[in-house]
A and B are shown apart, each in its own frame.
Chain A
């Protein structure tokens, strides 16, 4: 086995093959043939070929056609076309379509040919390096994702246990002081829980495929409101909903729940205790094409300067820093996967309206 770089040269004129061999056999391991079939066979058995030369004008297949045939199975070797001036249009076309890296006119100038080989070897090396770096990057990325996902998944178990203990403790007869400490613990635990849950949801959203299933929006929203009932009651918020559905509706239920979960939890979290009647209204109108879900609250509202950043990953809010900040980012990412839209109208001190549009995938 030689460790010389391997080249393949396909040409129907044997004279060309001989002179090519004579020029390069000292520096390279050169395989020459007049048969496209043999050239392809050689490539199959020699995966490390770095450059393939082909004549354009041949009786059975043209050089461009040959390249087209081998491109898919052997993408790595750099392809160079040797051709007379007459075929220049075919060459331009082939280069534009990415089948050929360079062309050399015949009769060749030895220097040109050498420069061309140098360039091609450099390209081969770069391509290979890029490919290796790319796959290393992909691997690192997917490992990181897996790590974050399983770490947050594992983190939830003890958090959930703590929440269970808090729930239980709240049912006991406690002193005022203990009660207030417990409340502090609960608040912090809930924040931690929201944050970790959001991360888990984000990665679930990223990795899972699109799902279409029939969804009854009325019962989905009812369940959601039931889930948040205690939370809303704690803030004295009245939650109303109104659903108009006229057709069968299909979407990815889990992703939609993720979105609505975040919006409703925000609406409660940022309610305004100074208002005489804190309220949240959920309006759903659904037809053949889409569902439009509006979540309207009379809460604290969002500062004008902050509105454009609320869907960012970790938006900085000037005033109160209650949320962990990833919820709306996750909601908008989930909506991207649903091919839906989210819009917001808000006025500080007055309230906020989120409008979610999700296409009907029936």
Chain B
């Protein structure tokens, strides 16, 4: 069983303020010390594709915003989906939406990588609870 603190958290969002706030919240709530952020899915995918070492050797939890320009959350999932199993298995995805649409929920459920869809603003305690469930505590 993995310790929560061993989990790496990756924030993918096009809004800098949301990233700053969520990073700080996650730090203050001491869920994990390993927090990475990416301004938009393009940068995130680029790093994943280049095999950057912040993804190696541990479980990666991605907080993925849905509404983003160029590549939105679902496009990003589509791209992760076609990567080799070895890469895919490194990620657990939590999607973030400012308004949760029924269609979004249905769509998110069709991706095996997606654990949950969470409403913004991020409720760190709820997130922690889901994270513990995901990791099987």
Contact = CB atoms under 8 A, between A and B. Distances in A.
Interface of A: 153, 156-157, 159-161, 163-165, 167-168, 171, 197, 200, 204, 208, 211, 226, 254
7 contacts: A161-B121, A164-B17, A164-B21, A167-B25, A168-B25, A204-B102, A211-B102
A226 B120 CA distance: 16
A160 B21 CA distance: 11
* Nearest 3 A/B pairs, CB to CB: A164-B121, A164-B21, A160-B120
Contact of A153 (B17, B22, B25, B99): B99
Contacts of A254: 102
B28 interface: yes
A258 B120 CA distance: 17
Given A160-B120, A160-B121, A171 B98 contact: no
Nearest to B129: A226
Instruction: Identify which of A157, A163, A204, A226 gathers the most chain B CB atoms within 10 Å of its CB.
Output: A157
B114 interface: no
Contacts of B120: 157, 160-161, 163-164
A164 B65 CA distance: 14
B121 A167 contact: yes
B99 A164 contact: no
A165 B101 contact: no
B99 A161 contact: no
Contact of B102 (A153, A163, A208): A208
Interface of B: 15, 17-18, 21-22, 24-25, 28, 67, 98-99, 101-102, 120-122, 126
B101 A164 contact: no
Given A157-B67, A171-B28, A164 B102 contact: no
B65 to A, nearest CB: 9
Contacts of A204: 101-102
Contact of A161 (B17, B28, B102): B17
Contacts of A171: 25, 28
A226 B62 CA distance: 24
B24 A161 contact: no
Nearest to B18: A161
A220 to B, nearest CB: 15
A137 B99 CA distance: 29
Given A156-B98, A208-B102, A164 B122 contact: yes
Contacts of A156: 98-99
Contacts of A167: 21, 25, 121
B24 A168 contact: yes
Nearest to B21: A164
B89 to A, nearest CB: 29
Contacts of B99: 153, 156, 197, 200
A164 B98 contact: no
B121 A163 contact: yes
Contacts of B24: 168
A153 B98 CA distance: 8
A259 B25 CA distance: 31
Contacts of B18: 160-161, 164
A168 B17 CA distance: 11
Given A165-B21, A171-B28, A160 B102 contact: no
A159 B101 CA distance: 17
